Amino acid sequence: MTVENSEIQTTPDVPAHWLGNYLPMWIGQAVSLLGSGLVQFALVWYMTEKTGSATVLAMATFVALLPSVILGPFAGALVDRLNRKAIMIISDTAVALATFALVVLFHLGIAQIWHIYVALFVRSLCGSFQYPAMQASTSLMVPREHFARLGGINQAMNGVITIVSPPLGALLMSVMTMQAVLAIDLVTAAIAISLLALFVRVPQPPRSQTAEALTPARVLADVRNGLKYAVGWSGLFKLMVMASLINMLASPAFSLLPLMVTKIYGKGAAEVAWLESALGLGIVAGGLLLGLWGGFKRKTATTLTGLIGMGVGITVLGLTDRNTYLLAVGMMGLVGLMNALANGALGAIMQTKIPPEMQGRIFTVIGSLASAASPLGMLLAAPVAEKLGIRAWYLIAGIFCAAMGVYGFLKRDVYTLDDQEPGGKLAAVTAAAEELA
């Protein structure tokens, strides 16, 4: 699909009983994410205890990021062209098989670090298909007036899982074998797959090229058209670039948090945990707030306000010291709350404005940019923190994040995204009103 022929209805009519169809998929996803969180904690802790090597952990992070960075847009093109329900089921099944292989290897006592790398790669590769397939399907299964609220609820769910997974994983590892903990992921995956397969109807987006054969050339053309579409829509493209730049600066700030606690606050692991818990609680609070409130009438205003609030919180964090630790805890809560508002509303904008048959590609392009930005930010943050101090990076990241929010309010093509038709053209009603004004 090209930019020129993209002006179609972005959200077809959703049946009145949409909740009964969507809820089983949402419950299955929540259960599966909890299982994945437990596995993630267990594997990281195992590698930490087994090797004590920062290089090993860095390599694990790199392996997990690689598929989304390199293969994301191609996965998105396939998501837009193939059956999305089948993609989600196959992806969840493949993840379960990778976990089952680790269960067997640990049971036999022959598990190696490289086995974990392979499993992490497979899990990330499948996630490159599964997540955009579900996100793109949501816009066809849920009435558009509920997109922002659903985004808030999803943010709250992710926050709860972020809070619960580490302590629950630690508890389970203290009373169960490694293979038994990993096997929990098999149970949660089975629940998610069963609910999706038996109780959910996932509609397909309309396509004008359904008769075309799926070939490598066709997939490459779809990727090119998706990129052309995103770049050609100035407001959407600027928002994507803003999100990537903020991720590049903010992600290292949270990676540096343990050093901030030990070197600036003069405290230990318990205080790191309190800060991380405050972030998670803030995400839950922000998600619930957005779920109940729905955000401002203009979704871009909610997203941009969230960015400014995040920037303020991160900046104040950079000004705290050992005497203002409690203020730092409060700012972490603020950052989490504002992050939930920004991300929840941003997801609603994307689902509302991007045509359903292109959402897989656009969502994976955004994911690829964000994934690539994180390690680049770490490369920049390390020398800055060494030369200017850890707090300097927080100040840089916070001020830039707030500035991006202000920039979005000032740029008409970004701020008016709610009023734009697919492709970036202002809706006729809005354009007429502006002419009269």
- pLDDT (tens digit per residue) in 218-251: 777 777 877 788 788 888 888 888 888 888 888 7
Are the C-beta atoms of 205 and 140 separated by less than 8 Å? Answer: yes
Choice between 378 and 114, residue whose per-residue pLDDT is larger: 114
pLDDT at 16: 67
d(CA 348, CA 146): 9
**Position 17 confidence tier, pLDDT thresholds 50, 70, 90:** confident
**Position 431 confidence tier, pLDDT thresholds 50, 70, 90:** very low
Residue 211 pLDDT exceeds 50:
no
pLDDT at 189: 94
Choice between 390 and 206, residue whose per-residue pLDDT is larger: 390
**Position 432 confidence tier, pLDDT thresholds 50, 70, 90:** very low
Mean pLDDT, to the nearest integer, of 51-55?
Answer: 68
Looking at 109-146, list the stretches that DSSP marks H as alpha helix, in order from N- to C-terminal side: 113-141
Distances (CA, A) of 377 to 111, 174, 246: 33, 35, 10
d(CA 9, CA 25): 24
Contacts of 326 (CB under 8 A, 6+ apart): none
Mean pLDDT, to the nearest integer, of 24-34?
Answer: 92
Element (H, E) at 41: helix 18-51
The number of residues in the chain equals 437
d(CA 250, CA 240): 15
Residue percentage of the chain with pLDDT more than 90: 32
Are the C-beta atoms of 129 and 138 separated by less than 8 Å? Answer: no
